[in-house]
Structure 1
Amino acid sequence: MNRRAFFVGCTLSVGVAGCLDDLSDDEGGSDELPGDIRPDDDPENVPAELHCEGEEFDRIQYQDDDDELVYGDADAFALRVMDLSYDYGESATFELVNTSSEEQLTSTSTRWNLQLYTENGWEEVRGTTEDRRLEHTDEEVSHEPGDGFSWTIELTEDGISEAGPVSDSVAVCPELRAGRFRFIYTGYAPEDVAVQFDFER
């Protein structure tokens, strides 16, 4: 069942997402934001497509159209990753900032995908089994200029599955593989905004 609510400032997903301090310059914009958008080179490792044995596995798919996706800078928001390379067990931090000079609305901080580039294209690493489908709410969050969301996700199977709001329903399958990952925030219309980073197992 969907419900609609309105929040001022930002929401918190326990242990994962939080509010940002004001990170924009006085006139808005993303030139001075810390972090990166994506590596300059092509990925060194492209694994086979993701496949899970046993029960039906339904991959979480908030983002479904690359034509509506931009890297780094959307119309009124910028997304950055704090490093371009991580090892297994390290924590990756992502920051979304309102770079406009006006208040902007997004959905909640939970509307993100974490995908691996495979021989089958970009594939979400998280999913649910048939008896544990996710339900979503329709909520709005207000961000003043310079405000936004921050996510810190431990790059392990448990760390990623526990990063969402319903960790008991979410799993990473198969186990994490080395390669090029991308984090996408899908709660801002009209564009999904993404960053990429490399991951070593």
Structure 2
Amino acid sequence: MERTRRDLLATGAATFTVAGSVGVAGCLDFAAGDGPQGPEGTPETLTCEDESFVRLDRPFDGAVDGTVVEAGGTRFELSAEGFSETYGQSIRLVLRNTGDEPARALGEYAYSIQRETGEGWLDVRGSTTGEGVEFPQTEESFGPNDAYSWTVDLDEESIATAVPDLDLTVCPPLGPGPYRFVYWGIVDGPPIGSEFELIG
């Protein structure tokens, strides 16, 4: 059965706007004029002053194959509403099995939010416990026309708190520049991603 955004929200499934207060907080911050406080453009790297911060590792090998991939005899497409958005606002992404065969996926949390740097694409999130973290992964069937849907609120708190039961933060703060959303949870398939530009 297709999982729509409404279904996911109703059942408490993973979206970036997991609670109304989180999404509102981002909008209020932006309305107050805070805006993005991080480095602009394409920084050489992402540096965090918190010595206990451990950036999330890249959980996949190889290049991201764009917004359409073939895996397990079926086809996946990642669509996005918006490729350029203001800090504090949101973009929506949907991953759908558009082929004719079922596949396996690792659940809705198997994604990365990365920023382009001189060292390559780095996740904006990390742990503040001094240790790396493991993402929850539950292998499940992902049949024809099944979909995951995310609403990405483009502020630090919303991105950091999107995965329940993980103590994450975004460091340094988000800044204007190129980012990408990467879903790496297609079992026996390549990562699939969509780039977007964060503006002030």
Q: TM-score, normalised by structure 1?
A: 0.74
SS at match of 1:74: strand
Per-residue CA distance 1:27-85 (angstroms, 9 max, x = gap)? xxxxxxxxxxxxxxxxx932231100132322223534234x21000112111211110
In structure 1, C-alpha distance between the alignment counterparts of 2:2 and 2:130, rounded to whole Å:
35
SS at match of 2:69: coil
Gaps of 5+ in 1: 1-7, 19-43
Q: Number of aligned residue pairs: give it.
A: 167
Partner residue in 2 for 1:173: 171
Whether contact under 8 Å (2:78, 2:95) holds in the other structure is yes
In structure 2, C-alpha distance between the alignment counterparts of 1:50 and 1:59, rounded to whole Å:
9
Partner residue in 1 for 2:146: 147
In structure 1, C-alpha distance between the alignment counterparts of 2:189 and 2:91, rounded to whole Å:
26
Answer yes or no: is 1:91 the counterpart of 2:90: yes
Report the CA distance shift for 1:62/1:46 in structure 2 as closer, same or farther (over 3 A): closer
Whether contact under 8 Å (2:45, 2:117) holds in the other structure is yes
SS at match of 1:158: helix
Gaps of 5+ in 2: 19-39
Partner residue in 2 for 1:65: 61
Whether contact under 8 Å (2:54, 2:130) holds in the other structure is no
Amino acid at match of 2:54: D
Report the CA distance shift for 1:62/1:74 in structure 2 as closer, same or farther (over 3 A): same
- Kindly indicate which of the two structures has a greater share of residues assigned to helix: 2
Report the CA distance shift for 1:109/1:62 in structure 2 as closer, same or farther (over 3 A): farther
SS at match of 2:157: helix
Q: TM-score, normalised by structure 2?
A: 0.74
CA RMSD of aligned residues (A): 2.4
The Cα of 1:9 is off from its aligned counterpart by 6.7
Report the CA distance shift for 1:74/1:14 in structure 2 as closer, same or farther (over 3 A): closer
Per-residue CA distance 1:71-123 (angstroms, 9 max, x = gap)? 00011211121111010001111110001112221011001000111122211
Whether contact under 8 Å (2:58, 2:122) holds in the other structure is no
- Kindly indicate which of the two structures has a greater share of residues assigned to strand: 1
Whether contact under 8 Å (1:89, 1:156) holds in the other structure is yes
Partner residue in 2 for 1:50: 46
Partner residue in 2 for 1:105: 104
Report the CA distance shift for 1:159/1:65 in structure 2 as closer, same or farther (over 3 A): same
Amino acid at match of 1:13: A
The Cα of 1:16 is off from its aligned counterpart by 3.3
Answer yes or no: is 1:74 the counterpart of 2:72: no
Matching of residues 2-21 of structure 1 within 5 Å: 13-16=13-16
The Cα of 1:145 is off from its aligned counterpart by 1.2
Whether contact under 8 Å (2:54, 2:127) holds in the other structure is yes
